[in-house]
Every structure is written in C-alpha cells, then in structure tokens.
Amino acid sequence: MAKAIMIQGTMSNAGKSFFAAALCRIFKQDGYSCAPFKSQNMALNSYITAEGCEIGRAQAMQAEAAGIEPSVLMNPVLLKPTTNMGSQIIVNGRAVGNMTAREYFRRKSELIPKIKEAYEELSGKHDIIVIEGAGSPVELNLKSDDIVNMGMAKIAKAPVLLVGDIDRGGIFAQLLGTLGLLEPDEFSMVKGLVVNKFRGDISLFDSGKDILFKRGGKPVLGVVPQLDCDIEDEDSLSSKLEGTSVGLIDIAVIKLPKISNFTDYDVFLQYDGVSVRYVTKYEELDNPDMIIIPGTKSTICDMKWLRESGMEAVIKRSAANGVPVFGICGGYQMLGETIADPLDTECGGSISGMGLLRCRTVFMGEKRQTQTRGRFRNIGGFFSCLSGAEFSGYEIHMGSTDSGERPMLDCGGAYSGNVYGCYIHGLFDSSEVSERIVKRLYENKGITYRGGVVDRGAYKECQYDMLADGVRRNIDTELLYRIVEEGI
C-alpha cells in the first residue's frame, strides 16, 4: 500500500487543490509514482476519464501534474449542484440521481465502503497518495459521518498538512482556530502548517512562524508565495471569473449562474492580445469580438436567467450584427428552439431557447459521458476556417439534441451563419482549433495575427513545473518526506 499525505484547508479556496497538485509534481520529479485522491468533491467543473467516468476537474488536473492518466478511483463521489438546495450525485463516475442537501447528509455514510474500496485500489498502484480535503475540517454542524476531511484521514491513516490563506487575512485565527476546534485524536494527526498565498517579503513572516509553532504546537512546513503560474481552477471562487480587462481581441463568456467547465476557455488567454471576460450583466457585454455561452448544470433555469436578466436579447442583437456566437454543451442547447426536461433530471419543465439554431433538446434519463476526437466538417459561415481542423475532448450531458441545421463536426453539433454549437468540452484546447479562431477574429478587425502557435499540453507541463518549483523553494522538503514516511 502507498504512503499517504492529506491536504486540508482552513476554508474553501485556501489553495488546497493547487498545493496538492504541487506535491504531486514534486513527488513525480523526485521519481515516485504518485496519484491524487479526493473522496468527495463538489464542483460543476468535471472531466471524463478514458473509461468514460466523470470526476472532478481538479483531480484530473492533479493527475496531469503527477504524470498519470486520470482515473475514477481518484474521486469516487462527485456532487454537482443543480439548485441551491440539491445536487446530482455521482458515485464511481456515474450519476445515481439527485438529492437535497439534507437527504445527502442523511445517507452519505452509505458511501464509506465505496470510498474505501476506491482508495485501497488506487493505493495499491502507487508509492504516494496525495489526498485533498474539502472546505474546512471543523464545520462542527457537518462533522457527523465526515467522509472528506478527518474522516478520510482516518480511513487512509494519513498525516495531515493544514493550509491557510494569508492573502484573505486572519491567518493566525484561521490556523490556530482550526487547530483549537479539532478533537484530540484529530489534532494529533496534523503534522504541519502551510501559510499560503503570501505577497511580499516572506522573511517578514519569520516571527509569524514562531508564533504559530508556540501557540499551535505544530511546525510550519513553509510559507508559500502567491505564485504566478496558470493552473486550471475548478473553484467557483476562481479569480479568472472576475477578470474585466479587454484585449485587442475581446472574448466574452456568459457567466451563467450554474456555469460549468469554465476552464474550456483558458487556452485563449495564451494568445497575444486576447482577453477572456466573464460577463454577468447585459450592460457589461458591450461589443465583443466573440461571445461564448458555456456549459451549465441547470440548462432550463439558466435559460430563464438569460431571458429575465436581459442577456438573451443582447446576445441575439449581437448575433444579428455579425458577432460570432459559440455555445458549448448547455450553451449549445440554449441556442436552439426548445429545451425539455420531462424526467426532472435537472430542474424539470420546458422552455423555449434563443432560436439561433434550429435544434430541439430533450433531457434523457442516462447521461452521455465519453472522450471523443474527430474533425470539423467542411463548414461555412464566420468560422469556415475551421473546416477540417482536428479536435479532441469529452462529452458530459443528459440532453439529446435533434438538429435541423448542418452538422459542424463529424460527431454532430450545428452551425448557421455566425452561430455555432456542440457538446464537446475541451474543443478549443486543440491548437489547430484555437489558433484558427484567433486568426479569424484578428482578420475580422483587419489585423494579421503574428503570434506563435499555442501547444496547450506543453504549456500546462511548464506551468506544473513552475508550480512545483515555487512550492519546493518555500517548504521544508526534508520535513515533508519525514511526515510522509512516519505517517500518523
């Protein structure tokens, strides 16, 4: 069985996912076979593995950092919120139904055997498992039958590193308060503290490390600076969703209330002069060079929001004025004429879409989840330049769409003039696709794009190395390995 180390945080967005990814990369660089694990993830950004199973995007990212193929064993339970009160429950990569939060908390202990089984199988294949917790380990009203923080640490017999976010302030209250609320046996499992996202001269926190050790009784493994590296983020609190700067080429992504897989558009940020803005109000849309309607976990509810917020009218006006509009997954469904959910797979009911494509979507009982690759057909319209381009990606959707339009891809999708839609997440990651789009957008402004070709895979590898190097320089790696070796 593998050695294990667990990363817990003082709150959501403390940097657990990135720190876990850094450790995965560090262990890989040092010659170990390493894998990530998160027993229960709650996220709308997800990924389809090679075996056709759905897991959290963060674990797929961490697997990439570790240099291994993502597996369903890395995230046996995934919760995808459909409303403010409930989620779709995915177990071992397959949807098993929707539950309210109350119902899920009443039944989550039933998942412990499946979590143990997945962890033990994964542990048997690697040297080190990097386990990520969720939120805070001391949400006292939620600790009963915990399966993701200290409950998971006990299952795996994993020593714990506690990560706090100094950028958000109150680092002493975060770390010392969390330690103070742990039960004695839980406290003994914490072997080190990490101060994350420090800005400025780290030496100024030397006295802070002494204070944490004296008051908390735990050594500070390191003080990690705010690192300038571009790693895919699944968290809805991601700073990428807050960007408002406008580049020479302005791509506007509609920030739907239940937006999913927003990392699909990160690739465009690698191109010179291109900005990606996430827009929540129709007044903010302005006059972009391209509009993207992204995926969503609640298509009908988000279509209502588009209509009631006034965003639909502005998008349709922009499309009529020649602005290219691209819909992915739920965004593709919204571009059509009707969306129906007769089985209440999401929020139920039916609604008319934007009518920019002659497509009709009906939600079915079984989710389609598969990796796919192929080519664009010989297409016309604004993005006729995409004809013949190769792509790869994955599909995650309950809806089945009948199209009266010409197919865009050799596996479906549709287009009409300057409006395009399909189900493929990761479509733009192909340099052949994203580069042709960027060149066409430049050309539409009467400018020649002179930047280089983007290799998304090589770029991400470089970013993982930068992340690992930044963390390695600022933690006590000797102490890290001692903690892993000694366990609890």
- Res. 374: pLDDT tops 90: yes
pLDDT category at 143 given cuts 50, 70, 90 is: confident
324 within a domain of the structure (yes/no): yes
pLDDT at 83 over 90: no
Is there a single domain that holds both residue 125 and residue 193? yes
Sign of CA dihedral 354, 355, 357, 363: positive
Query: Other CB atoms closer than 10 Å to residue 451's CB: what's the count?
Result: 14
pLDDT at 236 (0 to 100): 55
- The confidence band for 144, taking pLDDT boundaries of 50, 70 and 90, is confident
Which has more pLDDT, 238 or 118?
A: 118
- CA dist 123 to 59, 65, 128, 156, 158, Å? 15, 17, 8, 9, 12
Distance CA 86, CA 103 (A): 9
Interval 400-417: pLDDT, tens: 999 999 999 999 999 999
pLDDT of residue 173: 97
- Rounded mean pLDDT of 216-229? 95
402 domain residue, yes or no: yes
Confirm whether 317 is domain-assigned.
yes
Residues 96 and 136 in one domain: yes
Residues 99 and 197 in one domain: yes
pLDDT band at 50 (very low <50, low <70, confident <90, very high): very high
Same domain for 202 and 276?
A: no
- For residue 85, the tally of other CB atoms under 10 A from its CB is 11
- Give the total number of structural domains in the chain: 2
Tell me whether residue 425 is one of the annotated catalytic residues.
yes
Answer yes or no: is pLDDT of 258 > 80. Answer: yes
> Residue 239 — very low, low, confident or very high, per pLDDT cuts 50/70/90?
low
Q: Which DSSP symbol is given to 12? A: T
Sign, CA dihedral 60-66-71-74, equals negative
Query: What pLDDT digit, counting tens, does each position of 416-465 carry?
Result: 999 999 999 999 999 999 999 999 999 999 999 988 778 899 999 999 99
The closest alpha carbon to 48, from 456, 444, 368, belongs to 368
Q: What tens digit of pLDDT does each residue of 349-362 get?
A: 899 999 999 999 99
Domain contains 239: no
The verdict on 13 and 153 lying in the same domain is yes
pLDDT at residue 244, as a whole number: 66
Q: What's the pLDDT score for residue 238?
A: 60
Q: Please give the average per-residue pLDDT across 14-28, as a whole number.
A: 97
Strand order in the sheet with 325-328: 274-279, 249-254, 290-293, 325-328, 419-422, 414-416
Residue closest to 177 by CA, chosen among 215, 131, 124, 148: 215
Domain assignment present for residue 365? The answer is yes
Q: In this predicted model, what pLDDT tens digit does every residue of 298-311 receive, in sequence order?
A: 999 999 999 999 99
Q: How large is the average pLDDT for residues 324-341? A: 97
Q: Give the per-residue pLDDT at 478.
A: 97
pLDDT tens by residue, 25-49: 999 999 999 999 999 999 888 999 9
User: Would you say residue 54 has pLDDT above 80?
Assistant: yes
DSSP class of residue 270 equals G
What is the share, in percent, of the chain residues with pLDDT greater than 90?
84
Domain co-membership, 25 together with 70? yes
Of the candidates 29, 111, 34, which has an alpha carbon nearest to the alpha carbon of residue 74? 34
> How far apart are alpha carbons 78 and 43 in whole angstroms?
7
Least confident of 115-119, 139-143, 358-362, 468-472: 139-143
**From start to end of 86-204, where are the E strands?**
86-91, 94-100, 128-132, 160-165, 190-198
Same domain, 293 and 428: yes
Query: Residue 128 sits in a domain of what CATH number?
Result: 3.40.50.300
CB 403 within 8 A of CB 303: no
209 and 269, same domain (yes or no): no
CA-based nearest residue to 303, from 345, 341, 352, 260 = 352
Q: For residue 401, what pLDDT is reported?
A: 94
Residues 217 and 342 in one domain: no
Task: Please indicate whether residue 368 or residue 346 has the higher confidence score (pLDDT).
Answer: 368
Residue 343: CATH number of its domain: 3.40.50.880
Does residue 161 sit within a domain? yes
Q: In this predicted model, what pLDDT tens digit does every residue of 161-210 receive, in sequence order?
A: 999 999 999 999 999 999 999 999 999 999 999 999 999 999 999 999 99
Annotated catalytic residue, options 329, 347, 359, 422: 329
Q: How confident is the model at residue 347 (pLDDT cuts 50, 70, 90)?
A: confident
Whether 111 contacts 91, CB under 8 Å = yes
Q: Which of 24, 126, 347, 425 is catalytic?
A: 425
What domain range is 411 assigned to?
A: 249-446
> 66 with 181, same domain?
yes
- Specify the pLDDT at position 18: 96
Q: 50-76 burial, b if ≥16 CB within 10 A, otherwise e? A: eeebbbbbbbbbbbbbbebebbbbbbb
The answer to whether 472 and 26 have CB atoms below 8 angstroms apart is: yes
Q: What's the confidence (pLDDT) of residue 108?
A: 86
Q: What is the DSSP letter of 14?
A: S
Which whole number is the average pLDDT over 387-397?
Answer: 95
- pLDDT for 331 equals 97
451 assigned to some structural domain: no
Determine how β-strand 54-56 pairs with β-strand 46-48: antiparallel
Q: Does one domain contain both 73 and 121?
A: yes
Instruction: Give the number of C-alpha atoms closer than 13 A to the C-alpha of residue 421, restricted to the C-beta side.
Output: 29
Q: How far apart are the first and last CA of the chain?
A: 15
187/291 same-domain check: no
Yes or no: say if 298 and 398 are a contact pair by the CB < 8 Å rule.
no
What is the average pLDDT across 5-23?
A: 96
- Beta-bridged to residue 394, according to DSSP, are 371, 425
Q: What percent of the chain has pLDDT over 70?
A: 98
Residue 41 placed within a domain: yes
Q: What is the largest CA-CA distance in the chain?
A: 69
